[in-house]
Structures are given as C-alpha cells and as structure tokens.
Structure 1
Amino acid sequence: MPLHIHTPLIESRPLSLSAGRPVWLKLEALQPCGSFKLRGVGHACETHHARGARHFVSSSGGNAGLAVAYAGRQLGVAVTVVVPETTSARAIELLRLEDARVVVHGASWQEANAHAQTLLGPDDAFIHPFDDPLLWAGHASMVDEVAAAGFKPDAVVLSVGGGGLLSGVVEGLQRNGWGDVPVLAVETEGAASLHAAMAAGHTVELAGIASVATSLGAKRVAERALACTREQPVYSHLVSDREALLACERLLHEHRLLVEPACGAALALLERPDALQAYGNVLVIVCGGATATLAQIRAWLGQ
C-alpha cells in the first residue's frame, strides 16, 4: 500500500453558492502529515528505499520535510532535515515528533539546501521538496482518484510555489486524457515565481519573497512547471496575502479544516467570479499545511 491515503472529494455547498457554480474540494489537507506532499514524497522515498537507500536527506522546514520525516518513520529509514533559521518552532517540533534529525542552517532555503547536499553519503537519498519527476508522478495520483470517482472538472484551481503540485496535476490530467482541462495557477503577490516566468518566457529568480505564504516561497519555479504551461491550458492568477488568509478562515468556518496561507491562495480565487466565469464544475486542490495555526493566521490579519 502507498504511504498516502485516498482523500475525500466533496462538493462544498457554501462555496458553490458563493461562487455561483459547483465547487468541489480535493481534501489533501487530510493526508497523515497534513499536506499533498506525501503523495510525491512517499513515492520517491519508497522508490529510493527499494533501491537500497538507508538514509533520507531533505531541505525543507515545511510540508515536504514533514512528508519525508513521516515516510522515513513508516519505512524504518533514518531522516535528516536541514531547515533555514526562519523555520518556526512549530515546524521543528513536528519534524522531531516524526523522529527526524533536524539541522538548522542558513538564512534561506537555498542555503539550507546547499548544506543538505554536503551531508549525503553513498547510501543516502536526497528528497527534493518540489523538483523531481518521482514527486510529480506521485502527486498525479490525486487526479487518478478524481477520475476514478467518475468526475471530470471543467477547471482545476491550485496553488503554486516551486511548481511540484502543478507539475503533478498536469501529469495526472494528461495520463487520464484530460489535456483540455484548464488549470488556474494561483500565487500570492509576493511569491509569484511562476507568474514572472510565464511573463518572461523562461524561469527567473525573484529578488526575494514578500509573502506570509512561505510555502509558496520558491524564488525560482521548476523548469517542468513552466513547461506545463505550454502543454496544458494554464492561467496565472495573483491574490493578496489578506485574501489568502481570509480564505483560510472561511474554510475553517465552513468545513472545520485549518490550512495554511499557501493553500488559502487557491481558495481565495473562489471569491473572484470573473476568474471562474467561463467554467462550470470547479475542482480546488486543498493542498493543506501542517504548520498552520489559527493564532498565527489571525495575527497576520491583525485581529
């Protein structure tokens, strides 16, 4: 059995009424480690374990690192996660709950990632947070589940950080014969590396990240994510941090499910009727976020 679970696909009555069209939610926040990351990370970890890896190394203080830690514990494999100094105490606590060794290094993910590479031994496997074909193949399974339910959406709404989710969803759409289904790719205004890449025609590195949605904080989107925009109808949308945070609060109120601002970005698009006007049934990937707390969301909102 895979390490991830089959997540619910539900129609949200309150969000459907608000958006003026059926809104369906793929509840990836219910994965054991709190986010969709377990699909791809679990697939990668199982693949490397079968090839003889006896130690996993990751460079994420967020959902990817938590997924590696969970997968390693389930497989009986030691895990080291290198996190930047900006990583919250909550995230480090969650990593240690999964028995991961946590190394704090550097002021940014890029510095933590570079240090993680130096820790790799001959029997180790590096699990990238978003840029790996094994991850995309694993993430694609969520679309397989939607197809197996007999439901073909008219559009898919998802958040974009480094582009792993986008790459996986597009792979899933294509392998189910849904190359015509548009993807509405949502970023917050201070972390819009895909938007910048689509405008430039090539990947570009942002000068910095200016968003509370830190899980979207990849300065450069994966090359594969940009390639997906040429293979599938992909439309870029930007929302504000406040819109993302309010969407998190609304999901908690309507569905009793707490997600982080990175996930709230996708949900925020439901408040923009013009963005959805051309579509009937809309599928939103509720990607999750294990480190989110209601207190932090309200603090960011100034409540």
Structure 2
Amino acid sequence: MLELEKIKAAHETIKDFVYKTPFSLSTRLSKAMDAKIYLKEENLQITGAYKVRGAFNKIANLSPEQKKKGVVAASAGNHAQGVAISATHFGVRSTIIMPEAAPLLKVAGTKALGAEVILKGNNFDEAYAFALEYAKEHDMCFVHPFEDELVQAGQGTIALEVLAKVENPDYIVVPIGGGGLISGVASCVKQLSPNTKIIGVQSSGAPAMSKSFAAKKQINSSSVRTIADGIAVRDASKITLKTILEVVDEIVEVSDDEIANAILYLLESQKIVVEGAGAVGVAALFERKFCFEPGSSIVIVLSGGNIDVQMLNVIIEKGLIKSSRKMIINVTLIDKPGALQGLTSVLTGTGANIVKIDYDRFSTKLSYGDAMIKITLETKGKEHQENVSSALRAAGYEFYEEF
C-alpha cells in the first residue's frame, strides 16, 4: 500500500491551494438507511472534483526542467481540469487529450483553466494511448491520472480530512474508475483505522476493476457504456489493482438507472449536484449492494459534480416519469373542432396539469380523419395517474401511456 508519510507530505503540499471540502452527517439519508451516513463533498472542490488533489501534488513535485518542458494528460474531464489549474498555477504549459465524447462542460472548463485541449478517441483508454505518444513526441512530462504514487497520495488526503472528523468509521464508500482515488484513500485508512471497511463502487457499464478484483488478476472490458463518464475506464490497471487487492474489502457494481436515481435523490432531497461518478456510492447504499449493520457509520465520497446540463435534464425528466410525477399519454381523436377541448376538459377534471401538447394528423399509422395527441401531464403519484387513466376510459378515449 501507499506509505502514510507520502500522503501526509501531499497534504502539506496541497493544503494552501486545494479546498478542504465539506464533510457532514446527512440526517435524511441516515434516517432512511438506519445508519449514520456522512458525505464528503468533493463535488464542491476547486475544480468540481477531487482530481485536483493528485494533479497539484504531482506537478508541485516536478523538477524545474520537467516544468519547463510542460505536461500532458489524458482525461475524460476531471483530471484534465485538475492538471490544467495546477499547471497554470506553476506557470507550466499543459496539453490535455480528452475523448471526443467528453462533456462540453468539462472541455470548456479545461480550456478556461489554461490548457490546450485535443479531442481524440472514443473513450479514456484511446485518449490515453494517444496522449502517451504525444508526450513522447513532444518531450513533455505525462501526468497519469492514477498510475502514479504522487497522484495517489494527493487523492489520499481526502481520507486524512475524513478521519479528522470521524475517527473510526465502519465503512468508507469510494468510486472506482482507474483506481487512483481508492488506492490513496484506502492506503491511508488501513494505516490509521484498520478496522474500517473500504467499499469500492463501479458502474456495471465499466466493470473492469470489479471483475479483476473478483478474479485477482487483470480483466479488461471490450467496451464501456455508462452515464458515469468520470469512471468510464475500459482497462483495469495492474498497478492500482495490486494496491486494491491489498487494501480494499469489497467492490460492487451499480447500473445506470441506479446511478440516475441517486443523482436525482441528491439533487432533490440533499440539494447537492453530483455527476454520475460522484453518485455511485449513494446508489450502492440505496440498493444495499453491501451489507451493514443498523447504526453503522458510513462515509460516502461524492467524488465530483461536473455533470453535463443536458444529461442532468434527461435524468430529471426520466426520474419524474419513473416516480409517477410526470405522465405522457397518446390519445387518438377524431380531427374536428372542439375534439381537443373535450379531451383537455376531462384531464382538467382529474386535477392533472397539462405542460405540453403535440398534435399529429399526418402519421401514416392514423386513419383518415384522425389525429394523435401526445400530452405531457404533471401528476401527484401513481394513484393520481390511475385516476387519470380511469377518467379517460370512462369518457371513451383510446390511449396508451409512454414510459
């Protein structure tokens, strides 16, 4: 495992630049889960994610000659911004290789922090391969997002801040992409609080480290697909896997639906905005992916908050539908004056609020003289939606519901 002294040294290096992010007991989550649930809000970090800790520590420790040559990094977004702001702080030129599908928010944020951005590859691993070639060709220092002890030590400073607040938590739940965060955090925790269990969480759409942990050998994925772009790593790192096998107790997986539910819960109930990677710990908690006793103290690392606004909108809309607070119905009407008014009168009588109407009379699926009306309604739960359906049937309307 990573030496504790290296993590403490990293803390001294970064403490005047990196935020000591909020750490608090969530009363709502604690009540819901019958445990003491603490949130470490790295989504409120200086760049919106924990990655700046490791990036700053690495660049701070470069030699004057290395700083003069400049740095290169590969990242889906959060490491990119960490490297960019840290390099700019030290007056170092930075070039970041990002996947072509990287969220616009993260691309723009990286450029705004002073880096040159090159979009290359379909995922992190393809961007990473190009970045290595680029660094070699231009004789620049490559700042690895997780296979670097200085980077891992920087990430491990999160654990120092957590243990200063809760001396011996029962569990610490940490997202896993490449494994740098959990390597640093778990190494620190196992040396200061050895009885604390470390739970790693991966997206089921990018499960390389989870599969490797179970098999105790490197197992790579053929592809990745997940809304948690910050942990969308295709290949398991042999370097971090070695550490993880030593210091991590369990790794679990969560689906995109479970991640989306956690994002929406944190936004609505906790007033906290997190990205997919930042929500996986809460998703694992909600879905009881790991076992814990009532009253256990559980720390969840919210690793980042740089979620694309369009993705957040999709998650909110789908979440409202799944929770029966939004209803989309398609109704076939005879296309004549007053037909739509009759339909809306029935809906008004149920107390449902109409927020959108689409009117289609040209579909080849319709009989001549008919029209298809798609209506989006705000509703008050499952029972209310059943009342809406009953009222439409009683009024003689043919319809189907979209989910």
Same fold (TM over 0.5): yes
Q: Say which one has the larger Rg.
A: 2
Shift of 1:86: 1.6
Aligned match of 2:107: 92
Q: What amino acid maps onto 1:245 in structure 2?
A: A
Aligned match of 1:156: 172
8 Å CA contact 2:171–2:298 kept in 1: the answer is yes
Aligned match of 2:375: none
- Counterpart CA distance in 1 for 2:34 and 2:120 is 47
Aligned residue among 11, 14, 19 for 2:33:
19
Matched, 1:259 2:274: yes
> CA RMSD, aligned part only?
2.1
Q: What amino acid maps onto 1:147 in structure 2?
A: L
8 Å CA contact 1:12–1:24 kept in 2: the answer is yes
8 Å CA contact 2:177–2:232 kept in 1: the answer is yes
Matched, 1:108 2:108: no
Shift of 1:274: 6.6
Q: Are residues 270 and 295 of structure 1, via their aligned partners in 2, closer, same or farther at CA, if it must alter by over 3 Å?
A: same
Q: What amino acid maps onto 1:111 in structure 2?
A: E
Matched, 1:180 2:203: no
The number of residues matched between the two structures is 301
User: 1:48 aligns to what SS in structure 2?
Assistant: coil
Aligned match of 2:358: none
8 Å CA contact 1:180–1:233 kept in 2: the answer is no
8 Å CA contact 1:61–1:81 kept in 2: the answer is no
- Counterpart CA distance in 1 for 2:38 and 2:67 is 39
8 Å CA contact 2:213–2:245 kept in 1: the answer is no
User: 1:66 aligns to what SS in structure 2?
Assistant: helix
Q: For each residue in 1:14-42, what CA deviation from the matched residue of structure 2 results, as whole angstroms up to 9, or x when unmatched?
A: 11111110001111111100111111111
Q: Are residues 277 and 114 of structure 1, via their aligned partners in 2, closer, same or farther at CA, if it must alter by over 3 Å?
A: closer
8 Å CA contact 2:19–2:45 kept in 1: the answer is yes
Shift of 1:123: 6.4
Q: What amino acid maps onto 2:262 in structure 1?
A: A
Aligned match of 1:68: 83
Q: What amino acid maps onto 1:169 in structure 2?
A: V
Aligned match of 1:146: 162
Aligned match of 1:207: 222
**Structure 1 residues without counterparts, runs of 5 or longer:** none
Q: For each residue in 1:156-208, what CA deviation from the matched residue of structure 2 results, as whole angstroms up to 9, or x when unmatched?
A: 111111111111111211342x2221111111211111111022220111011
- Counterpart CA distance in 2 for 1:93 and 1:181 is 39
Aligned match of 2:207: 192
- Counterpart CA distance in 2 for 1:108 and 1:196 is 19
Shift of 1:258: 0.9
Q: Are residues 245 and 127 of structure 1, via their aligned partners in 2, closer, same or farther at CA, if it must alter by over 3 Å?
A: same
User: Taking structure 1 as the reference length, what is the TM-score of the superposition?
Assistant: 0.92
Q: Are residues 150 and 234 of structure 1, via their aligned partners in 2, closer, same or farther at CA, if it must alter by over 3 Å?
A: closer
- 2-11 or 107-116, which moves further after superposition? 107-116
8 Å CA contact 1:19–1:273 kept in 2: the answer is no
- Counterpart CA distance in 2 for 1:104 and 1:38 is 21
User: Taking structure 2 as the reference length, what is the TM-score of the superposition?
Assistant: 0.70
User: 2:48 aligns to what SS in structure 1?
Assistant: coil
Aligned residue among 30, 33, 43 for 2:44:
30
Q: What amino acid maps onto 1:73 in structure 2?
A: T
Percent identity over the alignment? 26
- Counterpart CA distance in 1 for 2:226 and 2:43 is 21
Matched, 1:287 2:319: no
**Structure 2 residues without counterparts, runs of 5 or longer:** 1-12, 319-403
Identify which of structures 1 and 2 has the higher relative contact order when contacts are C-alpha pairs closer than 8 Å and 6+ apart: 1
Aligned match of 1:47: 61
User: 1:53 aligns to what SS in structure 2?
Assistant: helix
- Counterpart CA distance in 2 for 1:300 and 1:248 is 8
- Counterpart CA distance in 1 for 2:300 and 2:64 is 33
Q: Are residues 56 and 229 of structure 1, via their aligned partners in 2, closer, same or farther at CA, if it must alter by over 3 Å?
A: closer
Shift of 1:49: 5.2
- Counterpart CA distance in 2 for 1:92 and 1:294 is 13
Aligned match of 2:132: 117
- Counterpart CA distance in 2 for 1:166 and 1:117 is 24
Q: Are residues 16 and 173 of structure 1, via their aligned partners in 2, closer, same or farther at CA, if it must alter by over 3 Å?
A: same
8 Å CA contact 1:213–1:262 kept in 2: the answer is yes
